[in-house]
Amino acid sequence: MLNVYIINAETVRLGNGKMAYGSFKWFAKRPPRIKIPSAVEPSLKYEYSNAEIYEMIISSLIHEITHYYQWYEKTEQSNSVSERQANYFRYKILDEFYNTKE
């Protein structure tokens, strides 16, 4: 089981106190969780269309789900490799989605 929380905020707080556009956290005795913010920074509303903003939110979710699969599969890798892989799948899945819609 994986719990996904969509938070009415512009960012979510990570365990180290930093703010981010998504987080994945696992626990020893309860299901892991993903938090994704759904509120949009006011400046972004003028810069991007609603469709682009929704894409940003979905891409954050894909990124964090990739971290879940890395954890689930017990993939041992450095943080930089883990982030690169999550970003790769973020764009690969979005590209596949748009290519199937054409």
Q: Give, in order, the Cα–Cα distances in Å from 94 to each of 1, 8, 32, 49.
A: 24, 23, 24, 17
- Give the torsion sign (CA, 56, 62, 65, 71): negative
Give per-10-residue mean pLDDT for the chain (102 aa).
94 93 94 94 89 92 96 91 95 89 61
Element (H, E) at 38: none
SS3 94: helix
Q: For residue 66, what pLDDT is reported?
A: 96
Cβ burial of 101 (10 Å; 0-12, 13-18, 19+) is: exposed
